[in-house]
């Protein structure tokens, strides 16, 4: 017998590798109401853990295999990774169960001929499961390579970050990327916060305060999506740094607002509430199916005054009017979300950064042309790479007159009264007034934002 949790985890990993799917999307589809909470928790732990630690797992497996993991069939690779992850990282699971169920997974995938291999490799791995992995890395291994193996990141990303952050900071960042991210929600009406928290606690959830915003909170002990507060639109699941980005616009009642690249709509919802019934909010995205998903999300939240538009924002925009507030939450590499979307680290390569840079500069140039005099634009990404962040902003502003970046004190007006007690504004901005967060410092995704005004 194969446990339901392992079956689900195996299918998630298979689709991630074979179809290019995102693990979080597949888990959301697989973990319906019929799946027991314990099975859902183990399936999530296995799928996300294997993705986060894939490089280290393969390194350790290849010691036993004496050949590259890439030469094995995918079902065999996945069974070996899942088995070794349990042996190395999940002490509560007996070694025998981890080995035997991995063997059964291979058989169920019609790869019975590999059952003996899987059994032998994992049994040998079990014997050394408590030996620190660092002992198996050759002493002469370069630092970036060593860190990449032991913390399971591509060497090229580690090399980049070492140059910018130094060894101490990068180890903290790599460790944060290999932890399950904080599950953070937003309270949409802070005057009801105590009432909503009481309801969530009655549903068996544990609540912790936000690290940045008074309207944010972390939840554990269950799924907030199964609560009345979520169903009625009182709360939404959203990373805390992501919640902060639309506040930087400081949208006011009656403002005309444009949200480009708006899906999945969390930031749009904040802008709709800020603009109020007298304002106009247009949310644009190039993918029709994502706009349909946004429409369903807005129904849950009770937001009706949103105009959804399908368009390619990198081209000349079709609007005959200017906007007082514009958000450009640009498509990016996502290197600030490697804890939440660990598969990204294995799909990216350096050439993608140049491709994103070209797209992002086009998006920002198009958006600036729609900004009204005296208006404000926020350019943001969930990337930590300069090519996608400050270099985009600097390149566009050098070639576009009439615009300037706001100072931190000007930006602070949008955050006035919204930060948690003790949160110093300077901790959210670098010396150049760019908004930055990192998983290691604030337990959030790694976000970047620049605030630009038109004279």
Backbone conformation region of residue 255, classed left if phi is above 0, alpha if psi is from -120 to 50, else beta: beta
- Hey, what are 49's tokens? 């853990």
- Nearest-angstrom CA–CA distance, 231 and 338: 28
Contact, 58 vs 64, CB < 8 A? no
**What is the residue-wise DSSP string for 131-144?**
S-GGGGS-TTS-HH
> Can 185 be counted among the known catalytic residues?
no
- Nearest-angstrom CA–CA distance, 12 and 301: 29
- Write the CA distances from 376 to 144, 305, 379, integer angstroms: 40, 21, 10
Sign of CA dihedral 338, 49, 351, 59: positive
Sequence-distant contacts of 23-26: CB under 8 A, at least 24 apart: 23/47, 23/48, 23/51, 23/341, 23/342, 23/343, 24/340, 24/341
Contact, 386 vs 451, CB < 8 A? no
Indicate which residue of 185, 261, 332, 382 is catalytic: 382
Q: Please state the φ and ψ torsions of residue 189, each to the nearest 5 degrees.
A: -130, 100
Contact, 184 vs 171, CB < 8 A? no
Active site residues: 382
């Amino acid at each position: 017998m194969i446990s339901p949790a392992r079956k689900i985890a195996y299918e998630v990993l298979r689709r991630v590798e074979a179809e290019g799917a995102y693990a979080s999307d597949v888990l959301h589809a697989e973990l319906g109401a019929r799946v027991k909470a314990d099975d859902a928790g183990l399936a999530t732990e296995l799928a996300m853990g294997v993705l986060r630690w894939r490089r280290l797992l393969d390194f350790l497996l290849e010691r036993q295999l004496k050949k590259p993991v890439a030469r094995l069939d995918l079902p065999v690779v996945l069974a070996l990774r899942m088995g070794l992850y349990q042996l190395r990282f999940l002490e509560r699971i007996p070694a025998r169960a981890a080995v035997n169920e991995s063997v059964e997974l291979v058989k169920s995938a019609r790869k019975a001929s590999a059952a003996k291999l899987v059994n032998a490799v994992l049994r040998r791995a079990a014997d050394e499961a408590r030996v620190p992995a660092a002992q198996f890395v050759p002493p002469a291994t370069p630092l970036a390579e060593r860190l990449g193996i032991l913390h399971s990141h591509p060497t090229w990303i580690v090399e980049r970050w070492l140059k910018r952050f130094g060894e101490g900071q990068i180890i903290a960042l790599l460790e944060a990327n290999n932890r399950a991210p904080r599950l953070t929600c937003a309270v949409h009406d802070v005057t009801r916060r105590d009432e909503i928290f009481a309801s969530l606690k009655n549903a068996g959830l544990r609540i912790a305060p936000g690290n940045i915003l008074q309207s944010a909170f972390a939840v554990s002990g269950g799924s907030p999506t199964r609560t009345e507060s979520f169903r009625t639109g009182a709360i939404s699941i959203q990373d805390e740094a992501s919640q902060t980005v639309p506040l930087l616009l400081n949208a006011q009642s009656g403002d005309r607002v444009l949200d480009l690249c708006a899906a999945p709509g969390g930031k749009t919802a904040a802008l709709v509430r800020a603009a109020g019934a007298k304002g106009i909010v247009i949310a644009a995205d190039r993918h029709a199916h994502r706009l349909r998903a946004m429409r369903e999300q807005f129904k849950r939240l009770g937001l009706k005054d949103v105009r959804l538009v399908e368009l390619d924002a990198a081209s000349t925009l079709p609007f005959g009017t200017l906007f007082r507030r514009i958000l450009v939450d640009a498509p990016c590499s996502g290197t600030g979300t490697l804890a939440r979307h660990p598969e990204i680290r294995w799909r990216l390569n350096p050439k993608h950064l140049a491709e994103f840079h070209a797209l992002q500069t086009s998006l920002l140039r198009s958006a600036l042309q729609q900004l009204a005099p005296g208006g404000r634009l926020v350019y943001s990404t969930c990337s930590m790479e300069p090519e996608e962040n400050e270099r985009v902003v600097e390149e566009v502003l050098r070639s576009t007159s009439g615009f300037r970046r706001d100072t931190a004190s000007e930006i602070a007006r949008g955050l006035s009264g919204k930060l948690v007690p003790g949160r110093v504004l300077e901790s959210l901005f670098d010396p150049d007034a760019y908004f930055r967060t990192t998983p290691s410092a604030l337990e959030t995704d790694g976000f970047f934002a620049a605030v630009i005004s038109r004279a």
